[in-house]
Amino acid sequence: MNDLKQRGRRTFIAGLGATLAGVALPSWAKYQSDQFRIGYQKAASTLVLLKAHGALEKRLAPLGVKVTWNEFPAGPQLLEGLNVGAIDFGYVGEAPPVFAQAAGADFVYTAYEIPTPHAEGVVVLQDSPIKTVADLKGKKIAFNKGSDVHWFIVALLRKNGLDFADIQPVYLAPADARAALEQHAVDAWAIWDPFLAAVEGQSNARLIADAQGVASHHQFFLSQREFAQKRKDVIAIALEELGKEGQWVKQNVSAAAAQLAPIQGLDAAIIESGLRHYAHVYKPIDDNVLAEQQKIADTFYELKLIPRKIVTKDAVLS
């Protein structure tokens, strides 16, 4: 088992050259007590706004802690950055932690966003003959490998009497996947907000199904284990400020969308639509959400999408 874990870890690290290409990373020191390096995606609106507003920097300055921000294109790449010590803290969907833990990444679940099933879905072009999930059988579906929609597609197919083997997965990053859909190179695209709201609002696309009744679509804040052990004060402050930012977004959705528009490069109305699909409410990790993650892990192992069985509770601080 240890040998298998090491092989998975080596495979995980070997992927850095491809998946982190073009991503500017800081020094790969595993732990620096005076640094708090945060990984984020442009789609992670609360984190993006926290960065823009500078509240976290003000809170941590008296502690002598410098905050740095590092952008990643998607959750799997962010997890690789966390695994190699490039960042201390980040925000991803349901599936990336499962893939990363199976590959030997050393991180801990820190907090989660309550379910947001309307924030991910599968779309097709308006002129597509595909009308229902059952019509996806045999079709090419684009999605980001290892991301939260990877689990969404598996769960959606199973609920509708299909297996993952019944489709042709096409692993593409969001921008490439949208282009492939618009060029008819794939039949459908599974994606999350704000990309979902954008393709519905800007392209000739329609929604086949979202995750309601299929997947919780939890979002997770993860921490590098050593940092979480030694700087609990920093993590606590970060979660407190994120909670405040989330409440502000809920109470000021239009204003938040207007601020995000130039950052995310999308129309404010589209961003607002996507923001309304997220809860912006964060809670400490509990047994129930870990049980849901365990279900994902067990299913992925059954489908041979991960190389070994994992116990999600191992990725928490004791």
Q: Tens digit of pLDDT for each residue in 189-224?
A: 999 999 999 999 888 899 999 999 999 999 999 999
Look at the chain and report how many structural domains it folds into.
Answer: 2
Beta pairing, strands 89-92 & 120-125: unpaired
Interval 267-313: pLDDT, tens:
999 999 999 999 999 999 999 999 999 999 999 999 999 999 999 99
CATH number of the domain to which 168 belongs: 3.40.190.10
The answer to whether residues 121 and 86 belong to one domain is no
Query: Are residues 57 and 74 located together in one domain of the fold?
Result: yes
Statement to judge: residues 184 and 275 lie in one domain: no
State the residue for tokens 């962010």: 78
Going by pLDDT thresholds of 50, 70 and 90, the confidence category of residue 21 is very low
CA 315, CA 304: separation in Å to the nearest integer?
Answer: 21
Q: Which residues contact 191 (CB under 8 A, 6 or more apart)?
A: 120, 121, 122, 123, 143, 149, 174, 177, 178, 199
Q: Are residues 8 and 141 in the same domain?
A: no
Same domain, 243 and 290: yes
What residue numbers bound the domain in which 55 lies? 2-114+218-315
229 burial (CB, 10 Å; 0-12 / 13-18 / 19+) is middle
